[in-house]
Structure 1
Amino acid sequence: MEPGPPSTATCCMVHERGRGRSGEAVTVRDSDAIASRCAGAGGWPRARGRARERMCSMTTRDMTGGAVSGAVTAAGIDHVRLSYHYLDIGDIDGYGSLLADDIRVVRPDAPLRAGREEVLSLHQDALVPPGTHHIEEIVAQGHSVVVTGRLTPPAASRPDGTARDLEFVDWFTLTDDSMLRGYRRYYFTAPS
């Protein structure tokens, strides 16, 4: 049987030709290769069946002793960008695919929402202002992604047909598998 296409996985320690670093992303053909590399590096013992599946489903935090892989953060940034795109085009199912089951959303313009279904209803029921997101800057480290940007509401939302952008900052938190665990939105407003 031919091996399938390579997949990317993170190993606790990679030793190939005498080189390796903790938490290094490696390309492997299957989970047996991960298990054998880990065993060869003094990591997990070679595993079979359910034990191997459990080992391979471990999170980056489990594998690297608390450190967060750059791959987790990079994938989280991609998920954040996609979340704005899905909301802008009205793809609630696509947006929902990026959310952790236990997501929490805190916004000044809506009540606290906890759980995927409540967060999806926030957008389906138009409880928050619709519009187009324009990302200006993204700063990320570990399990946190911070986005500054502008939300342009639909022009029809104002009586004169013009739209005023709302400047915002969103602070996202990520799960160990780069899903969106939560976000808190802040709007820039002039003090009254």
Structure 2
Amino acid sequence: MDMSVERPEGYPTRDVVTAVGVEHVRLSYEYLDRRDLDGYGSLFEVPAESRSAEVDASHVRAEDGPHLVGEGDGECSHVLEQVFCCSGRVVVVGRLVRGERNVEFVDLFTLTEHGLLRSRKSYFFVESGVAGI
């Protein structure tokens, strides 16, 4: 029995959608580092969900922006070390750098069928004795 799904002519394959999603994930970090919350929000399906220690399980909204980028706490940047993708999901391993402080993170993204970001869940590792970001 053939379980494949027929796609209309011109409809992107799952591999293409995942590749677009990976580029959206990479772009999301650029937007966060530039503090461009409108650009960041444009990459997500509405409503979107973002869960991390920084956003305290809130939905992605403009009022959450200061928590996402650490407003008032100085500039920050994301250093992406590895990006994995499979079946509409993207996993990023990296470091959040703010001044002399580095915090390792893993972000899990779920993609829509069009390559937009549906959700983001973040996990942080902070060595003992080091203050969190």
> Could you tell me the TM-score, scaled by structure 1's length?
0.56
2:111 to 170, 174, 182: 174
> Is 1:148 aligned to 2:54, yes or no?
no
Shift of 1:90: 1.6
Query: What does residue range 1-192 of structure 1 map to in structure 2 within 5 Å?
Result: 12=7, 34=9, 69-114=14-59, 116=60, 118=61, 120-123=62-65, 126-128=66-68, 129=70, 131-153=76-98, 155=99, 163-190=100-127
Pairwise CA RMSD: 2.2
| One-letter identity of the residue aligned with 2:111 | L
3-state SS of paired residue (2:56): strand
Contact 1:145/1:173 (CA < 8 Å) preserved in 2?
yes
* Structure with the higher helix share, 1 or 2: 1
Shift of 1:169: 0.4
Q: Structure 1 residue runs of 4+, over 4 Å off?
A: none
3-state SS of paired residue (1:165): strand
> d(CA) in 1 for partners of 2:64 and 2:51?
11
Max Rg structure = 1
| One-letter identity of the residue aligned with 2:124 | Y
Return closer, same or farther for 1:75/1:107 CA change in 2, 3 Å cut-off. Answer: same
CA deviations 1:3-47 (Å, max 9, x no partner) are: xxxxxxxx727xxxxxxxxxxxxxxxxxxxx4xxxxxxxxxxxxx
> In percent, how many aligned pairs have the same letter?
34
* Structure with the higher strand share, 1 or 2: 2
Q: How many residues align structurally? A: 119
> d(CA) in 1 for partners of 2:27 and 2:79?
12
Higher relative contact order (CA 8 A, sep 6+): 2
> Could you tell me the TM-score, scaled by structure 2's length?
0.79
Gaps of 5+ in 1: 1-10, 14-33, 35-55, 61-67, 156-162
